[in-house]
Homo-oligomer: A and B are copies of this chain.
């Protein structure tokens, strides 16, 4: 299963009107604080991998998940293999990673407002230090039709897949810093 996603900059106020016209179903807002880890003998930025601990707070629950993201398998749509599971205690997982030699390398904080539309998840992201974005995302066994559907959905939202930002928020933050 692949995660197919396209991300663009987007003025959220303008997009909201379109979402309403498309009968997109609101799925709530969450706050995410992501810590990315690096390892002294394998720099994930160089191997194009990522190891992340995500703490997510929503209205009714808090949750921590650990995620490994593999290298790109399809560059156009930023498609990667993703392994993720929830963990009971985020602080303990963070401590274990440090004991194993990993180092907390960067933190990304954002608010995500999700909608569901035509089998896709549309997310309005407000990222600390970066601004407003919109992401169209789905999971698929076959990449190309999923990607074409995402491009079409962006058009219906008044956005252009040609403006796709391929860098992660982490990458954009590192770029903004330098």
How many A residues have CB within 8 A of the partner chain?
23
Assess the A92–B85 pair: CB atoms within 8 A.
yes
Assess the A92–B101 pair: CB atoms within 8 A.
no
Instruction: Take A87-B86, A87-B88, A88-B86 as given contacts and tell me if A96 and B42 are in contact as well, using a CB distance cutoff of 8 Å.
Output: no
Per the bound structure, the CA–CA distance linking A161 and B174 in Å amounts to 57
Q: Does A95 touch B at the CB level, under 8 Å?
A: yes
Interface residues of A in 56-82 (CB under 8 A from B): 66-68, 70
In the complex, what residues of B have CB within 8 A of residue A101's CB? Answer: 39, 42
Number of copies: 2
Per the bound structure, the CA–CA distance linking A72 and B119 in Å amounts to 53
In the complex, what residues of B have CB within 8 A of residue A95's CB? Answer: 68, 83
Contact of A68 among B84, B87, B96 (CB under 8 A): B96
Q: Does A49 touch B at the CB level, under 8 Å?
A: yes
Q: Which of A41, A67, A100 has the most CB of B within 10 A?
A: A100
Assess the A39–B100 pair: CB atoms within 8 A.
yes
Assess the A89–B85 pair: CB atoms within 8 A.
yes
Per the bound structure, the CA–CA distance linking A87 and B88 in Å amounts to 6
